[in-house]
Amino acid sequence: MPSRDLHVPFYEKDLAKGLGARWDAQRKTWYAPDGTDASRFSRWFPQPARITLRAAHYFIAATQCICWQCERVSGAWGFVLPPGHEAWTELDAAPPHVQSDAQYEEWVQSDASVGWVEQDSAAVALRVRHIPESVQRRIAAVTGAYRHDFSMTLQSFYWMNHCTACGMKQGDFELIEEYDAPFYPIHDAARIVLRPVFEAFHVEANSISYEPGVFAHMTRMEP
């Protein structure tokens, strides 16, 4: 088969290497070399993307954090979506033909109960599992510290920050979800610098919406 990237957790690297996988130090990823038997590596093949967030344009956001490992100041990056972006989510209301409890339960369990919903608030992307190549090139031009890696906590891969001083992984919980996190500040939103990208954005990820006023106080770079 042609060479193919693999999602190999760190604790399985020796197994993958023993089966013939190779490490690309520049891209920091494992891959199956051209001509190898695909069946050896099926457990590490990336799963097809399921797009859950999309927008006509987006921002690459930059801020700083304190590395939990070396306790030095590190840069941190992520994606902020403007108001009006869309999320693939549960619909708020059932269609008119759903009248009884049984019909409602059937509707909730069906694919018809989810769809694209426009969001009134800006949001930060959380646990980004898939990024199209165009967005990958954009973030790579800004930093090499935001890359695909394995989370031991979640037992899954996603795009995450790495300390710019020691290289240690910096999980989204500490950067986005915790109280007054670097990408969700309670008081000083201006410490987040937004670089606008006027291109379509579509990723597989969750998101956290900003409270009113937070997005407006972030610092904008010139296009």
Per-residue pLDDT at 97: 73
179-186 contacts at long range (C-beta below 8 A, 24 or more positions apart): 182/63, 182/64, 182/65, 182/76, 183/61, 183/63, 183/76, 183/78, 183/80, 183/124, 184/124, 184/208, 184/210, 184/214, 185/214
Per-residue pLDDT at 93: 64
Per-residue pLDDT tens digits for 2-11: 578 888 887 8
Range 89-113 average pLDDT: 66
Sorting pLDDT into bands at 50, 70 and 90, what band is 99?
low
Report the alpha-carbon distance of residue 156 to residue 204 in Å, rounded: 13
122 with 86: CB under 8 angstroms? no
Sorting pLDDT into bands at 50, 70 and 90, what band is 103?
low
Among the listed ranges 36-45, 89-98, 163-172, 185-194, which one has the minimum average pLDDT value? 89-98
Per-residue pLDDT at 111: 61
Q: What is the largest CA-CA distance in the chain?
A: 59
Nearest to 128, CA basis, from 77, 62, 85:
77
Per-residue pLDDT at 85 exceeds 90: yes
Sorting pLDDT into bands at 50, 70 and 90, what band is 127?
very high
Domain residue spans of the chain? 4-44, 53-86+118-220
Task: Determine what percent of the chain is predicted with pLDDT higher than 70.
Answer: 89
Per-residue pLDDT at 32: 87
Per-residue pLDDT tens digits for 144-203: 999 998 888 888 889 999 999 999 999 999 999 998 999 999 889 999 999 999 999 999
Sorting pLDDT into bands at 50, 70 and 90, what band is 30?
confident
